[in-house]
Amino acid sequence: MGKLFVISAPSGTGKTSLIQSALKDPRASSSKLGISCTTRDRRAEEIEGTSYFFISNDRFKEKILNDEFLEFAKVFGNYYGTPKDWVLATLEKKENVILELDTQGALQVKARFPEANTIFIIPPSYEDLQKRLEKRNQDTDEVINARLKEAKKEVSIGKSFDRILVNNDFDEALEDLKTFMFTNNDLSKNRKLHAEKSLDLLLD
Ligand code: 5GP
């Protein structure tokens, strides 16, 4: 069986870029990123079947009834779910599976697969997260505030994940993620301390 990694982070923390970069590492040749189903609208840059499978609410409900999801959750008003058969078949081929999920979904997967490795990526502070969300220029102030509120909920769940890393610096965070994905090592003392201190600050 391959290894299962479930990666979560508050919106705007840089999770997708970190995962995409980690997957370019030669050690990722037998790692596959899961493609979820979602009921949210496709964004201009997204590709059907690569970014997500974009489906209707009715189709999503049908899939729930047919037990086709390993987990599903409602995030920011839309449904997201992980196709179960694909994950099981990929693991059976001895390939590693990376799932990029919200924390509710990650907990559902961990409950079904206790051997799954849950990784939580945190921003160095909420001020930093707010700046990043503003810089993305994607959301109104109202949506940014909602994302920040949601981030606090995500942190209160994510604090209990198996591994935590802080994205204060892209390259350092990428090295941390690669350490978790491709080695059995722990983070360096400094990086671990940095993540612990940042988490304390976010929980304050
Ligand atoms: P976005 O709409 O920005 O692509 O994703 C919103 C959130 O939904 C992100 O936190 C993302 O990781 C999460 N997400 C994406 N796919 C799934 C899924 O299949 N299940 C769950 N639970 N969350 C997902």
Q: Which pLDDT belongs to residue 138?
A: 81
C-alpha of residue 203 to centroid of ligand 1, in Å: 23
54/49 Cα distance (integer angstroms): 8
CA distance 182 to 199: 24
Spacing, Cα 66 to ligand 1 middle (Å): 21
Q: How far apart are CA 32 and CA 34, in angstroms?
A: 6
Question: How far away, in angstroms, is 190 Cα from ligand 1 center?
Answer: 30
For the stretch 30-73, pLDDT in tens is 999 999 999 999 999 999 999 999 999 999 999 999 999 999 99
Question: Residues 185-196: pLDDT tens digits?
Answer: 999 999 999 999
Write the CB contacts of 192 (distance below 8 Å, at least 6 apart in sequence): 186
Q: Which residues line ligand 1 (CB under 6 A)?
A: 11, 36, 40, 71, 73, 75, 80-82, 100-102, 104-105
Q: Which residue's alpha carbon is nearest to atom 12 within ligand 1?
A: 101
Element housing 54 (H / E): strand 53-54
In order of their start, the domains of the chain are 4-34+96-203 (3.40.50.300)
If one residue of 51, 54, 78, 101 were mutated to test the ligand 1 pocket, choosing by the most ligand atoms within 8 A of its CB, it would be 101
What tens digit of pLDDT does each residue of 123-167 get? Answer: 999 999 999 999 988 889 999 999 999 999 999 999 999 999 999
When the pLDDT of each residue in the chain is averaged and rounded to a whole number, the result is: 96
Q: Can you tell me which atom of ligand 1 is nearest the CA of 82?
A: 19
Output the pTM of the full model: 0.96
